[in-house]
Every structure is written in structure tokens, then in C-alpha cells.
């Protein structure tokens, strides 16, 4: 089982326009091996100079402190890109008007899509049955506060 992030695209009217994007939440192996290629594939061109500046800075510091630290620093930089790849992807999707809607545990993208559609159908049927949920659930805040 894997985690899938489902993003909805928000249209100009401020409502969901029907476009969804399903992405698997994982550590990017390509970002671990060679971050500039991952940045190019994901169209994050503005981060490529930052990556090379960081590598240049690491090499500059290693000339001052010693050569042993350069390998560990570059490996750390690559691990950082691999771990932060999902956050960078989400950040870029926000510029394209995508909003994180849900995170679903599923076997593959198709089953994640089916679970998402099923959840949306139950939410829409609940909203049809309960058109004004704020009046019927007035103790929701008290319940949350009682947990702590």
C-alpha cells in the first residue's frame, strides 16, 4: 500500500473545475542521484542555479576546511533534495492553482481514484441530506477541545 496525494485544480471562479491530479507520495530516487535532472523534469528551472550555488559554496568551504567534508556535504545536499522533492512539487502545483484535497492509502493510482470518487459521492450525499451542518453540529468545537 502506498500513499497518494490528490490535488484539485481551482478555476478562476474559485471553485473546483473538475481537473484532478493523483501523485504518489514517495522519496524521489532521481532527486537523490542527480537533483538538477529532477528539477528540469519537474520544470523547476529557477532552483537549478540555487543548487549549483550550494554546490559551489560547499566546494569553496571545503577548500578552506579540508577535502574530507565535501563528499558528506554533497551527499547531504542530495538527500535534502530527495526528501524535499514532494514539498517542492506541492509548492509548484500551488502556482498552477492546484490545491491538496486528500491523501489516500491505496495499491495504485486507479484504486486511489476510485476511493476518491467514492468519498466525494458520500460527501455530496451527506451535504444534500444535511444542507446546514453548522446548526446541527454546534458542539463540534467543544468536542475537539475536550480531546486535549
Write the pLDDT tens digit of every residue in 11-58: 777 777 777 888 888 888 888 899 999 888 888 888 899 999 998 998
pTM: 0.63
Report pLDDT digits (tens) over 76-95: 888 988 888 888 888 888 88
For residue 134, name the pLDDT band (cuts at 50, 70, 90). low
Cell numbers representing residue 82 in the block: 530527495
CB atoms within 10 A of CB 135: 8
- For residue 125 the three cell numbers come to 450525499
Residue 131: helix, strand or coil by DSSP?
A: coil
* CA–CA distances in Å: residue 22 to residues 42, 46, 99, 109: 15, 24, 12, 7
List 16's β-bridge partners, or say none.
10
Amino acid at each position: 500500500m502506498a500513499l497518494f496525494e490528490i490535488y484539485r485544480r481551482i478555476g478562476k471562479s474559485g471553485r473546483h473545475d473538475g481537473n484532478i491530479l493523483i501523485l504518489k507520495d514517495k522519496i524521489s530516487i532521481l532527486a537523490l542521484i542527480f537533483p538538477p535532472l529532477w528539477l528540469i523534469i519537474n520544470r523547476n528551472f529557477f532552483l537549478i542555479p540555487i543548487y549549483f550555488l550550494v554546490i559551489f559554496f560547499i566546494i569553496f568551504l571545503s577548500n578552506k576546511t579540508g577535502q574530507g567534508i565535501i563528499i558528506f556535504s554533497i551527499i547531504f545536499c542530495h538527500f535534502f533534495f530527495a526528501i524535499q522533492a514532494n514539498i517542492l512539487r506541492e509548492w509548484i502545483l500551488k502556482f498552477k492553482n492546484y490545491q491538496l484535497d486528500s491523501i489516500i492509502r491505496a495499491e495504485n493510482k486507479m484504486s486511489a481514484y476510485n476511493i476518491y470518487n467514492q468519498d466525494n459521492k458520500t460527501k455530496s450525499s451527506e451535504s444534500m441530506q444535511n444542507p446546514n451542518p453548522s446548526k446541527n453540529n454546534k458542539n463540534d468545537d467543544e468536542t475537539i477541545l475536550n480531546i486535549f
